[in-house]
Structure 1
Amino acid sequence: MPLKVCLDLSPIVHQKAGLASYARELTTQLVVMEPGVSWVAFHYDRYPPTPLPSPLDALPRRVVPWGAYRWRLTTALRHFLGLSMDGFFQGVDLFHATEHLLPRLSSVRTVFTLHDLIFLFYPETHKPLNRWFLTLMMPRFLRAADAVIAVSECTKRDAVRAYGIPEEKITVIYEGVSPRFRPASPEAIQAVRAKYRLPERFILYVGTIEPRKNLTALLEAYAALQSRNTQHAARLVIVGKKGWLYGGFFRRLRELGLEERVHFTGYVPDGDLPAIYSAADLFVFPSLYEGFGLPVLEAMACGVPVVCSNTSSLPEVAGDAALLADPTDIRALVAAMERALTDEALRASLRARGLERARQFTWEEAAKRTVEVYHQVLGP
């Protein structure tokens, strides 16, 4: 009988930003690349807000009809009480947890993807209930899993240091860049410029509006940049929906008087992102902490110069293809942004190095190495 693998696609149907991108791109590649495997889709919530995309929508499904809170609480209680949840996954050989929740399984082998430990290092950037759940359950999930996939060496080091997880249990598998992220045509750029009312020149940020993204520092740096060159300074465009604990960001936006200089698009479908990246003069990603930092590579793949933080996984991901700056040092951010906007030789070099860097990260390779982890867990 063919191997039966259950993939947790909950991040996709619940639009969980970076987790959704990871789950969608990786599992799509797995399904296409390994047709001999019997793939099964799993998600919680009987009526999720977002349908699964093709080809994932054609997979047989296991669905827990509960919402997020009940599913999380049930999983936590089952772990504490030592009660198996195998009944949800009968006939499955392996379950892959693509987000930070692992059912307690006894007869089903498990692989757990660890994206980051932000809640541990920057607890103030998480809602209290989410922080409590992850603090309580993350070490249990990591120990219970048969194998752990970390999306960067940084994330692996964090897990080993924080929880004493054996290094040999964790395999680092980088995320990839979808082929659709490439320099867009002038026609595509013109179309998104009109659709989202984008300014002629702009600095771009893509991601959720939440504390760890350090967007208040980006506002401070942008305001300082404006004061240096008010005649030709580019506008600031923020692409992404509101996440949580974003009140301080909008308060600082008003205090700096930037309401007319900062343009918000809200949520943007993935299909429009390559042209928006391509239209930008500069991409800035000032996060305090990232488990991987996929938008950096997406911007590079579209030929945009990048400035990003010199913390956590970002130096590992960006290599020498971006200007790195301390995200807590506004002067350093301003200096890096100004150089990347005004030094034409540097801009050309960053574009070339960025395109080459992005080509090194593919979902095909990520899927291939993920299947190797499955086989290691299941044995011969």
Structure 2
Amino acid sequence: MHLAIEAIKLLHERRGIGRYMRNLLPQFVERDPSLRFTMYVRRDEDIALLRAHMATLHAALPDRTTVAHVRELPRTDADVVWYPWNFITVAAPHRPMVVTMHDVAPMLQLDHRWWKLLKRLRFTRRYQHTMQRAAAVLTVSEFSKSEIVRYLGADASRITVTPLAADDLPVQGPDASRPIDATGLGGPFFMTVGGQEGRKNLRTLYAAMNALYANGLRIPLVQCGPGMSSNTRAIAGQAPWLHHVGFVSDAELVTLYRRAVALVLPSRYEGFGLPVLEAMRAGCPVICADSSALPEVAGSAALLFPWEDAAALAAQMTRLANDPVLREAQIAAGIVHASRFSWSRVADQTLACFRRVV
């Protein structure tokens, strides 16, 4: 099978969907010796860079991969074209096209600032256009599948659910404590991971942290992720419990998970919520909102709370901090639960979808 891939963002997106692709490509190579790839990039200078990057993913990938400019994509002779980043960008009108639609958050009213309305309208058109042209859609959770059906009127039979995994995370490696050292923390801490857009619901977490400190439980919060929102910047110099460490490497992330009292994920909307599995695999208890895909991903191995209820979140954080028996039970349950997810399974399900389309 010849697989064409719209890989415009692969070199530049280190986590998120970039990680999804970097885990699946080596798995594809292992599972199908006849599979060959053509990857399409937007900039001419990225052609050589992506060829070199393939060698870092799997020794066999360079010999089985051609890299071309995306302007050539409409003329591809591939058996199937895969768009991993939610949308059909440059269409290949004469070939079957498969899209991984991770979630529909960009088209939903989760942020009420006026300029977001225009952005949502643009994204809505892109989702609709993609759904009309795709031969099949992959998504990462049953929740996301239901949202695609609900908001785009999609036929559920065209959608295949391929839950993600975290078994690539280097949990056995040595500690990489740079972020912790930078904070100067010598004791326990909670942690949170991810971006800071409105749907991540950091407002509820911040209210819970203020309540903990007011009630005498002075365990700080270490925050990982790119950039700070205006709300975070507004309290950064005033909240004694907030330590923003920015983007961290996988080894540093694992070290944070190992040492944290718990990962707190307060998001009101996630298509999957990969930090849940990452933390569980690394032996970190998880407290997450009971919204969107998070309960589906966490199963019975996390403590849940209503996403808008700061008091309920503070209560769960207090329980976990004060009850070592509960914490050990959550760690054990999380390790078992995370082991049920694997990138090899994602690859098998994805290749099966490609073959059905062909």
TM-score by length of 1: 0.84
1:23 corresponds to 2:32: no
1:92 aligns with 2:78: yes
Deviation at 1:46, TM superposition (A): 3.7
- Shift of the 313–343 alpha-carbon distance from structure 1 to 2, 3 Å rule, reads same
Q: CA deviation digits over 1:332-365, x for unaligned, max 9? A: 1111111121111211111011001100110000
Q: Distance in 2 between matches of 1:147 and 1:350?
A: 38
The amino acid across from 2:36 in the alignment is S
Matched, 1:206 2:193: yes
Given that 1:219 and 1:253 are in contact with CA atoms closer than 8 Å, whether structure 2 keeps it comes out as no
Q: Find the partner of 1:236 among 221, 226, 245.
A: 221
Q: Percent identity?
A: 29
**Structure 1 residues 190 and 101 mapped into 2: Cα distance closer, same or farther (>3 Å)?**
closer
Q: Which residue of 2 aligns with 1:79?
A: none
1:248 aligns with 2:231: yes
Report whether the alignment pairs 1:61 with 2:63. Answer: no
The residue type paired with residue 111 of structure 2 is E
- Alignment partners' CA distance in 1, 2:183 and 2:356: 47
CA offset digits 1:186-215 (Å, max 9, x no partner)? x51556644775543211111122221111
Contact 1:149/1:173 (8 A) holds in 2:
yes
Deviations 1:312-338 (A, max 9, x none): 000000000000111111111111111
Counterpart residue identity of residue 250, structure 1: R
Q: Give the one of 180, 185, 204 matched to 2:169.
A: 180
**In 1, distance between residues paired with 2:109 and 2:316?**
25
Relative to 1, partners in 2 of residues 1:149 and 1:312: Cα closer, same or farther, differing over 3 Å? same
* Cα distance between partner residues in 2 of 1:87 and 1:373: 21
In the other structure, the counterpart of 2:243 is 263
Cα deviation, residue 41, structure 1: 2.1
Distance 1:181 1:314, change over 3 A: farther
- Give the letter aligned to residue 207 of structure 2: E
Cα deviation 1:106-160 (Å, max 9, x = unaligned): 2111111111111233342796364332111101101211000111000011111
Q: Which of 109, 120, 138 lines up with 2:96 in the alignment?
A: 109
**Range that drifts further, 334-343 or 85-94:** 85-94
Give the Cα separation in 2 of the matches to 1:18 and 1:125.
25
8 Å Cα contact 1:215/1:286 also seen in 2: yes
- Kindly state the Cα deviation for residue 42 of structure 1 after the two structures are TM-superposed: 2.3
Amino acid at match of 1:234: I
Q: Cα 1:46–1:252, aligned 2, differ >3 Å: closer, same or farther?
A: farther
Say if 1:119 and 1:179 are closer, same or farther in 2 by CA, change over 3 A.
closer
Q: Cα–Cα, structure 1 residues 362 and 197, in superposed 2: closer, same or farther, change >3 Å? A: farther
Rounded to whole Å, the distance in 2 between the matches of 1:325 and 1:34 is 43
1:304 aligns with 2:279: no
Give, as a single letter, the amino acid of the residue that structure 2 aligns with 1:263. H
- The code of the aligned residue for 1:116 comes to D
Equivalent residue of 1:360, what SS? coil
Tell me if structure 1 keeps the 8 A contact 2:40–2:73. no
Contact 2:103/2:144 (<8 A) preserved? yes
> Does the aligned pair in 2 maintain the 1:278–1:304 contact within 8 Å?
yes
Between the aligned partners of 1:320 and 1:152, the Cα distance in structure 2 is 16
Structure-2-length-normalised TM-score: 0.88
Alignment root-mean-square deviation, CA: 2.4
* Contact 1:310 1:324 (C-alpha < 8 Å) held by counterparts: yes
Q: CA deviation at 1:298?
A: 0.2
Conserved? CA contact 2:175–2:251, under 8 Å? no
C-alpha deviation, 1:269, in angstroms: 2.1
Name whichever of 28-37 and 360-369 sits farther off: 28-37
1:13 deviation in Å? 1.9
| 2:239 aligned with 1:272 | no
The aligned amino acid for 1:95 is V
C-alpha distance in 1, partners of 2:80/2:251? Answer: 32
Higher mean displacement: 124-133 or 28-37: 124-133
Q: Which amino acid aligns with 1:14?
A: H
Q: Secondary structure at the match of 1:234?
A: coil
Displacement of 1:280 after TM fit?
1.2
1:33 to 20, 31, 34: 31
Aligned pairs (5 A) from 1:69-88:
87-88=73-74
Q: Deviations over 1:47-70 (max 9, x none)?
A: 56x964622773321233xxxxxx
SS of the aligned residue for 2:9 comes to helix
> What secondary structure is seen at the aligned counterpart in 2 of 1:10?
coil
Q: Secondary structure at 1:22's aligned position in 2?
A: helix
- More divergent stretch after superposition (144-153 vs 200-209): 200-209
String of CA shifts for 1:290-321, please: whole Å, max 9, x gaps. Answer: 00000010000001110001000000000000
Mark the runs of 5 or more structure 2 residues left unpaired by the alignment.
Answer: none
Note if 1:343 corresponds to 2:343: no
Give the letter aligned to residue 235 of structure 1: P
| Match 1:42 to one of 26, 40, 43 | 40
Check 1:6–1:241 CA distance in 2 against 1; reply closer, same or farther (3 A cut): same
